[in-house]
Amino acid sequence: MPAPQELRRVSARLGDIAESATLAVDAKAKALKAQGLNVIGFGAGEPDFATPEHIVEAAVKACREVKYQRYTPAAGLPELREAVAGAIRATKLFAQRHFGPPIQKQSRLLVVFPSSSTQKK
């Protein structure tokens, strides 16, 4: 077996993966609370209230529809992307400030679930 210094990494890029800032903040808040300090954690976004009933009912209704029982396209649902494009078109100043020319169609949008994997370092 090769010596430890001779072992190769699967990929040099693996070394570039940073710890999740959200999880680090959450862990720090939990550690401080464990020390008896009064801490308000702003890390992982766990709500301290129940989901409003109309949202629960909308989710239940959507879960019963076959078209929502499959993986979504990688770029997001076309109807969601079109709705986002419409909202951005409705606020041209926002679009111009953040995206350059106003978005005219959903094909230029990517909708992803909030995740640390979608954030740049």
Q: How much is the pLDDT for 116?
A: 55
DSSP the chain: ---GGGPPPS-GGGGGPPPPHHHHHHHHHHHHHHTT------SS---SSPPPHHHHHHHHHHHHSGGGSSPPPTT--HHHHHHHHHHHHHTHHHHHHHHSSPP-SGGG-------GGGS--
CA distances from 25 to 50, 52, 97 (A): 24, 27, 30
Q: How much is the pLDDT for 67?
A: 84
| Cβ atoms 109, 81 nearer than 8 A | yes
* pLDDT string in tens for the chain (121-residue length): 555 555 555 667 666 777 778 888 888 988 999 999 988 877 777 777 889 999 999 999 999 999 888 888 888 888 888 888 888 777 776 667 776 665 565 566 677 666 555 555 4
The residue type at 51:
T
Neighbours of 45 (CB within 10 A): 9
The reported pTM is: 0.43
Q: How much is the pLDDT for 47?
A: 73
Q: Can you tell me which residue has the tokens 């949008």?
A: 109
